Amino acid sequence: MRRLAALVLALGLASALHAEEVTTATLDNGLEVVVIEDHRAPVVVHMLWYRAGSADEPVGSSGVAHFLEHLLFKATDTLESGEFSDIVAANGGSDNAFTSYDYTGYFQRVAADRLPLMMRMEADRMNNLRLTEEDIVTERGVILEERNQRVENSPNALAREQMRAAQYLNHRYGVPIIGWKHEMETLDMDDALAFYDLYYSPNNAVLVVAGDVQPDEVIALARDHFGPIPAEPDLPERVRSQEPPQTAERRMVFEDPRVSQPYLTRSYIAPERDSGAQEKAAALTYLAELLGGSPFTSALGVALQFDSQLAVYTSAYYGGRSLDDTTFGLTVVPAEGVTLQEAEAAMDVAIADFLAEGIDPDQLERLRTQLRAGEVYARDNVQGLARRYGAALTQGLTVEDVQAWPGILQAVTEEDILAAAREVLDPDRSVTGWVVPSREVLQ
Amino acid sequence: MTRLILALALLIAPFAVRAEIEIQEVTSPGGIDAWLVQEPSIPFVALEIIIDGGASLDEPGKRGATNLMVGLLEEGAGDMDARAFQTAREGLAASYGFDAYDDSVVITARFLTENRDQAVDLLRKALTEPRFDQDALDRVRAQVQSIIRSDATDPNAIAGAAFDAAAFGDHPYGSDINGTAESVSALTRADMITAHRNALVRSRVHVGAAGDISAQELGTLLDDLLGALPQEGPVLPEAVEFGLDGGTTVIDFETPQSVALFGHEGLARDDEDFFAAYILNEILGGGLQSRLMEEVREKRGLTYGVYSTLVPKDHAALYLGNVASANQRIAEAIAVIRDEWARMAQDGVNAGELNAAKTYLTGAYPLRFDGNAAIAGILAGMQATGLAPDYVENRNAYVEAVTLDEINRVAGELLDPDGLHFVVVGQPQGLE
């Protein structure tokens, strides 16, 4: 039972591209373990990731993944409510958690010799949570205030919700992680426990430990603390409703008097990084930089902020890490006196010119250099490295994919980028939103 | 060049004793002081430069000048216009940050070992030969004006502006460093040159460096980078009294959740009671384990977060807090905070709370030193705060030395429930 099933992938590539030392193992109960060594400071980051996020929630209970994340800081069989974090703090550490579409994660940052205690407590709350009705009521108030703070009080966040809902025709990514307010208000004990009982299991989790640790010791500790927890036999295959072909351009006007700076934003449905097939995502990573990465050298920045003064801000965004279809986004904040219509027309011209004229080889080379340097800088932040692996392994990628990614980025060519751009920048797969204080500004 | 070796391990006796941090005091041949942690395992350097003064040096009628000037440092220097400068920076994969605050200008940089000289030379041009081209000035001015417009309908920004104006009036602390739409629209290239001359001053520089560089190399680098800055700058502003009495100010703004900023006078960083106050705040509202979080969030579910913090500025000291709750619940949240403030002022903390806070603070301290960028920032910040180099060694002992009597005396002296002023932005129910 407590034997290691699989061991050890060592990284020996003498390249700056993957200089972090990574070791992996899988316990008999299915728990995957990733250890990243960084011996510069006597610190460890201990993270447990579940392959369960808001896109895995049952119909009608949006927000339950995030609600449960909050509730995991309540009592267990052996700890009182709040005691988990009190113990972490009493050991000089800090702890928190996060929920996304594809995963929920819990982490502590603490002196390296406190790792066994962290593991014992994290393993405990995988199985032994004891919630009360009072917990449910109080914490539901907290998440509703969190939604108030992050979303209801922010017209930009409200507009983003509407954009995503319009972008995804069939996939659960169109529902906000924190939940729709009317569904959050109905979340109860059964909703939370059903999600917990099914998904919080070793065969649905990835343990990432990064810092001043020895891999064999970490794996032995994981075996001791997590090993006795049985795998969930009924864990369902991870199937979400997928997007159909998107064949109609969508447009929206979002009106809120709290908007004092009108802007426009457009998103396109886009492919994500897939295991063994990350090349298109790599090309789109470049495309985002080339279109809107730097206000000084990108296509939108130069056209709208330098060659003309039509915009005060431009950007492009692509996030390739996603289990299912992701998005490619553009934003333009017009200069005073410039209408959204004029700004959007200028944006479209800039994109068309980019596709027609091709890519300056020097700029491509500079981007390559920056991406390569980014790997050097990334090694300074061991928690960032831990997040990179945890996110990848809960979003359908493997350790090999993570380590291949910098090399794949370096191999991207101009043809790859332009081909990906022509495929993705298709109006029929896009949503364009104008965010305004009042429709009157559109008159 | 003196050299100081600090064994971080000493600080964390109960914890793993494996890593050491060695802070070197460096003085460049040209006389610029810096602290360095040499860490060669990753081939880059992180640099942080704090220059005292900041936006408080804005001249009368020129509010926003320092902020705009700092925003223009990356917009062209020497023989390069903005695009040429940024193209060069991108080609080196270096990154530079330029930020203005009330009391300082902060410059951060990271650059690869393989092109360090070029990256430093480019940064030198930005700091000492900025062009302030009119087209760049107009472009960045428009960006600042856009931020000013957005802040005008942001509840947190509205609360901050109202609180500062009421507390500090005409002193620079009384207005936002961005300036107003009117003041920013009137700024000229000449104002940028003046602001640059006033704010980037060699005698007010504090440098922290960490990464793949030796003390000798850093000394040479600093002379190259900062040697051409003027030695002295204008007189810094006078100290200012905190001018806000206790009470509640409601600013009507149509939004579902009210945000509240609250506070009263605080404690100077060099006050002998600062450590006691720092621990006191940790217990009252400093983090996720605080009394305010327990009472307002954990027990009552009234908010996602409530925090308090000591804000020792260079010319005034504040004790501030913030909370946000739905319009119909904010009154209760504020009542609970006032009660906790009063309870703490009257009864203080108990021995168990003090012990828990000490254990947390002393245990967490060494965890801050976890990367070149973090270390460079800590080293610069310690110098800007006027701390001695051995502070890293002694800091946890200062925390441990605070007694229950001391902290509870400070609680009585510092916390002033009647002096607490709340600025609430929203449509709160049950508040005047």
| Of A159, A167, A166, residue with least CA distance to A324 | A167
pLDDT grade for A34, boundaries at 50, 70 and 90: very high
Question: Which parts of A61-187 fold into alpha helices (H)?
Answer: 64-71, 83-90, 115-127, 133-147, 155-167, 181-184
Summarize the confidence of residues B320-344 as an average pLDDT. Answer: 98
Domain covering B247-426 in this structure, CATH number: 3.30.830.10
Sheet of A311-318: strand order equals: A250-255, A430-436, A263-270, A326-334, A311-318
What is the rounded average pLDDT for all residues in chain B? 93
**Tokens matching residue B29:** 């041949």
The pLDDT of residue A389 is 97
* B247-426 shares the fold of B3-226: yes
Residue A113 CA to residue B422 CA, distance in Å, equals 43
Residue A42 CA to residue A95 CA, distance in Å, equals 17
Interchain proximity A89–B372, CB inside 8 Å: no
Q: Which CATH class is domain B3-226?
A: alpha beta
Q: Assign residue B64 a region (left: φ > 0; alpha: ψ between -120 and 50; beta: otherwise).
A: left
Residue A365 a catalytic site member? no
The pLDDT of residue A9 is 30
Residue B24 CA to residue A342 CA, distance in Å, equals 56
Summarize the confidence of residues A238-263 as an average pLDDT. Answer: 96
Q: Is the pLDDT of residue B5 over 50?
A: no
Are A254 and A158 a contacting pair, CB within 8 Å? yes
A-chain residues within 8 Å CB-CB of B155?
153
The pLDDT of residue B389 is 80
**What residue ranges do the domains of chain B occupy?**
3-226, 247-426
Summarize the confidence of residues A123-142 as an average pLDDT. Answer: 97
Q: Is the pLDDT of residue B205 over 70?
A: yes
Interchain proximity B254–A257, CB inside 8 Å: yes
The pLDDT of residue B12 is 33
Summarize the confidence of residues A355-368 as an average pLDDT. Answer: 96
A-chain residues within 8 Å CB-CB of B17?
42
Gyration radius from chain A CA atoms: 23
The 8-class DSSP code of residue B429 comes to: S
Percent of chain A with pLDDT over 70: 95
B82 touches chain A (CB under 8 A): yes
Residue B62 CA to residue B186 CA, distance in Å, equals 8
The pLDDT of residue A259 is 96
User: ipTM for the complex?
Assistant: 0.91
- Which is the catalytic residue, given A69, A183, A272, A289? A69
- Report pTM: 0.93
* Range from A137-141, A424-428, B408-412, B428-432 carrying the lowest mean pLDDT: B428-432
Residue A394 CA to residue B408 CA, distance in Å, equals 49
Q: How many CA atoms lie within 13 A of A201 on its CB side?
A: 18
Q: Is the pLDDT of residue A198 over 50?
A: yes
Cβ within 8 Å of residue B422, ≥6 positions away: B247, B248, B249, B260, B261, B262, B334
Q: Is the pLDDT of residue B307 over 90?
A: yes
The pLDDT of residue B393 is 86
Cβ within 8 Å of residue B197, ≥6 positions away: B230, B233
Residue A429 CA to residue A213 CA, distance in Å, equals 47
User: DSSP for A128-158?
Assistant: -B---HHHHHHHHHHHHHHHIIIIIT-HHHH
**Tokens matching residue B141:** 């001015």
Distance from CA of B92 to the nearest CA of A (A): 8
The 8-class DSSP code of residue A204 comes to: G
The pLDDT of residue B13 is 33
**Tokens matching residue B294:** 């327990």
Residue A271 CA to residue A275 CA, distance in Å, equals 12
The pLDDT of residue A21 is 87
Are B171 and B241 a contacting pair, CB within 8 Å? no
* Range from A69-83, A399-413, B106-120, B361-375 carrying the lowest mean pLDDT: B361-375
B210 touches chain A (CB under 8 A): no
pLDDT grade for A19, boundaries at 50, 70 and 90: low
Residue B251 or residue B391, greater confidence: B251
CA terminus-to-terminus distance, chain B:
61
Distance from CA of B90 to the nearest CA of A (A): 6
Summarize the confidence of residues A383-391 as an average pLDDT. Answer: 96
- Strand A43-50 versus strand B80-81 pairing type: unpaired
Residue at token pair 């113990």: A87
Summarize the confidence of residues B36-54 as an average pLDDT. Answer: 96
Q: How many residues can be counted in chain B? A: 432
Question: Nearest chain A Cα to B396, which residue?
Answer: A92
Mutate to test the interface with A, among B251, B255, B330 (most CBs of A within 10 A): B255
Summarize the confidence of residues B157-178 as an average pLDDT. Answer: 97
Distance from CA of A352 to the nearest CA of B (A): 22
Q: Is the pLDDT of residue A12 over 50?
A: no
State how far the alpha carbon of B236 is from the alpha carbons of A254, A296, B103, B104, B229, in Å. 47, 35, 9, 11, 18
The pLDDT of residue B20 is 55
**Would you tell me how many other CB atoms lie within 10 Å of the CB of residue A367?**
24
The pLDDT of residue A442 is 78
pLDDT grade for A3, boundaries at 50, 70 and 90: very low
